[in-house]
Amino acid sequence: MSKKDTISIQLVREALLQSCAPGAATDEVLSKVGIDPALLDDAQARVPAHAYARLWRLLARRLDDEFFGMDPRKLKSGSLAFLCQCAMAQPSLASGLTAGLGFLSLMLENLPAQWMRQQSLAEIVLLEDDQEPRRAFTYFTYWMIVHGVACWLAGRRIPILSVELRCSAPDFCDDYRVMFSQNLRFDRPRTRMIFAAECLDLPIRRNADELKRFLAQAPANILVKYRNPQSLASRIRHDLRQLPAERWPETEALAQQLCVSASTLRRRLAEEGQTYQGLKDSVRKDLAITWLAEPSISFVEIASRLGFADASSFYKAFRKWSGSNPGHYRSLILNDSD
């Protein structure tokens, strides 16, 4: 795992909130997994993802609960393994999700879920009661498990278009946005994750040996999707979001701004698994999804803001990014009463 695979100490504090008594017990647990307890007082501190994974496993063993004690029913040790076994026996991701979500709905009292296909889009929806929403960390831990297992079953990362949550936005969201999607919406009527429906048709071809390797590395192999927000790619993506698309620099100009050569810029981005064009497309997609959630912004205006020559070019690009046309996505995202 790269040294850049780190997560915020804020998520460590969230994990400990319901699963470990403060004070000496917390200090002992953190020391066992290689996290300095003093970091809890530094809101900007980051820890290796593998250390967080060790913390997860240690707390799961001690509590016999792989869900940090956040549900009245324990997600007992071995639940992740059984979830994977149930899902991998299915022919496609659609049926694998049905099996996996069914198992989690039986195990967890407060988070029943189901997936639905809406033409070219799909969503996983938590069928919660009308009680107070759970805290953001509870929802994101659930999504971390479901999305992580789904990606392993499919043998590829499944891009998330948007995540909506019933809870209010927590003070810290950076890692959640990096891991899941820039498009997080809070205080929504329901909690759901939206992605391209074509992913549901992906075949599942996993065997017992692959399952053993996956479980031996879990949950570090799920957490590895976290990335340091101070990475070059994250900095460039942040800077692009602050500028109108027509002012985005070309590669040579960007390199000059960063005081490096264009070849060095390309190399450093390649080391992070990125390209400048890919970053620009990613920011365009995120901005498009954000603006499609605002009914007052027309498709023509969105196309113009993103630097497209016309709405038709935007339509084609959005379908390439998401597998859906903008109109269908807007209809789904605004249909809160369905």
Q: Give ∠ CA 289-290-296 in degrees, rounded to 5.
A: 105
Backbone angles phi, psi at 22, to 5 degrees: -70, 165
d(CA 103, CA 100): 5
pLDDT in tens, the chain (338 residues): 444 578 899 999 999 998 888 899 999 999 999 999 999 999 899 998 889 999 999 999 999 999 999 999 999 999 999 999 999 999 999 999 999 999 999 999 999 999 999 889 999 999 998 789 999 999 999 999 999 999 999 998 898 999 999 999 998 888 898 888 889 999 999 999 999 999 999 999 999 999 999 998 888 788 755 455 567 888 898 899 999 999 999 999 999 999 999 999 999 999 877 899 999 998 999 999 999 999 999 999 999 999 999 999 999 999 998 889 999 999 988 875 44
d(CA 202, CA 316): 23
Domain with residues 230-334, CATH architecture: Orthogonal Bundle (1.10)
Domain boundaries, the chain: 4-71, 77-221, 230-334
The 8-class DSSP code of residue 115 comes to E
User: What is each CA distance from 131 to 166, 190, 286, in whole angstroms?
Assistant: 11, 12, 31
**Sign of the CA dihedral 8, 11, 17, 19?**
negative
User: What is each CA distance from 208 to 77, 81, 215, 220, in whole angstroms?
Assistant: 19, 11, 11, 19
Burial (CB count within 10 angstroms: exposed 0-12, middle 13-18, buried 19+), residue 185: middle
**Residues near 210 by beta carbon (within 8 Å), at least 6 away in sequence:** none
Point out which residues pair with 185 in neighbouring strands.
164
